Structure 1
């Protein structure tokens, strides 16, 4: 019976992950992809955070829908900022590449900016759903946490690489276990990073946790 219970538990977890992933894809498409990706991903990370923090029962669809509606405009504001910065970086690297003989000295600076951009993006969704911060403070806190958590940033990047490799080996898992599994791993790693920073700084100087009313 113990083995059967464990099997049922594993199957139940897999079904929840598949359901989360399908909802993530559905809500991304609902926002015409471009306007749906950030709010759908925020919703996905909200569910992942609640699950990891032991909030039961967890109404997955209700949490998704409520968060998607509530955070649609604000999260898309961040999407615009990240998109613009990404485009500017792409343009800068292209421009330097076309004038490599004259502007080579700019490459190290651009690489450092790119690294800061990538690790900030890696931690953005966990910070967004975990802390109750204003628009600009969210970006500032995300950057600070990213820069002070290099080990966790590497772990998140490795998780992304492993999932990418798994998708290449088993393309059939793409609509069921990509975003949901990655969100759970990233949120778990990020919660550890938040805990370490909280211990170093003290709870008084650390932002309040973000609690959404359902």
Structure 2
């Protein structure tokens, strides 16, 4: 009996390793053009001009490769967090890639443009102006950090919710501000994973992206459920108040968008 239990546990661990590594490899393949220039910019010697050229190419490629590939990866980890661990990785990944491509692309264009603008403004205020105006550069840096960190929620919401791109971005940023401890947990876990990957570079191929997406969606889903509970309580309170005042029931307006169905 003990040997059967050990074998069962071994098979489960092996299955999860295959899921994590398989989805990670799919993400690497679909993000390859972006990752190639990222690797070139940071790891191939060539001077600042060479690195700057590669970063501009990365900015152009990101909305069309990195963003759709990452939202598809979050579609896979969404299934795991919601208890559907046995779904086909390849089918789920490419279904999410196809369904979420436009939202991811347009969201990626917004995030990339705003990031570039904020980086340029930050450098201008910190280098070109005196100390009296450099505080503006610090403020821009803070907003830039919030913007980049909100990407975790953006990808989670793309995978989980039917919403317009503007609503996805707005809600991702708001949820980042309203639930800072959840986001801090995601950032810390991501930092640990990056540190481990530096120590063990093979994790780039077999786990870094998938584990990061899993942690990010887990924290998003926990925060999302708490927000939903508060919305339900507020709606119930308003229904009760309207019933007492008007003698009939009325409901709060539901958000424009719906949770994606399980399949």
* TM-score, structure 1 as length reference: 0.90
Does structure 1 conserve the Cα–Cα contact (< 8 Å) formed by 2:158 and 2:168? yes
Instruction: Give CA deviations for 1:127-149 in whole Å, capped at 9, x if unaligned.
Output: 11111111211111112211111
Q: Aligned to 2:68, which of 29, 39, 57? A: 39
Aligned to 1:49: 78
Structure 1: any 5+ residue segments left out of the alignment? none
More displaced 10-residue stretch of structure 1: 91-100 or 161-170: 91-100
Counterpart secondary structure, 1:171: coil
Offset at residue 159 of structure 1 (A): 1.1
Q: Offset at 1:11?
A: 1.3
CA contact (8 A) 1:24 1:44 kept: yes
Residues 18-38 of structure 1 deviation map (CA, whole Å, 9 limit, x = unaligned)? 000011111223xx3322111
Matched, 1:23 2:26: yes
CA-CA distance at 1:56 after TM superposition:
5.5
Aligned counterpart for 1:82 among listed residues 105, 111, 114: 111
The one of the two structures with greater contact order (alpha-carbon pairs below 8 A, sep at least 6) is 1
How many corresponding residue pairs? 211
Change (3 A) 1:153 1:197: same
4+ residue stretches of structure 1 with deviation over 3 A? 203-207
SS at match of 1:202: helix
How far did 1:152 drift?
0.6
Q: Quick one: distance in 2 between partners of 1:123 and 1:58?
A: 23
Q: Deviations over 1:85-118 (max 9, x none)?
A: 1101110111012124152231343133223312
Match of 2:261 in 1: 211
Query: Does 2:90 correspond to 1:61?
Result: yes
Aligned match of 2:178: 148
Q: Shift of residue 180 of structure 1? A: 0.7
Aligned Cα root-mean-square deviation (Å): 1.9
Matches within 5 A, 1:1-214: 1-29=4-32, 32-33=33-34, 34=61, 35-55=64-84, 57-101=86-130, 102-202=132-232, 208-211=258-261
The 1-side partners of 2:102 and 2:152 are apart by 21
Gaps of 5+ in 2: 35-60, 236-253
CA distance in 1, matches of 2:94, 2:160: 18
CA contact (8 A) 1:20 1:44 kept: yes
TM-score, normalised on structure 2? 0.74
- Alpha-carbon distance, 1:16 to partner: 0.8
The answer (yes or no) to whether the contact 1:132–1:211 under 8 Å persists in 2 is no
Structure 1 contact 21–178 (Cα < 8 Å) conserved: yes
Per-residue deviation, residues 34-78 of structure 1 (Å, max 9, x unmatched): 221111111100011012112264021112122222322331111
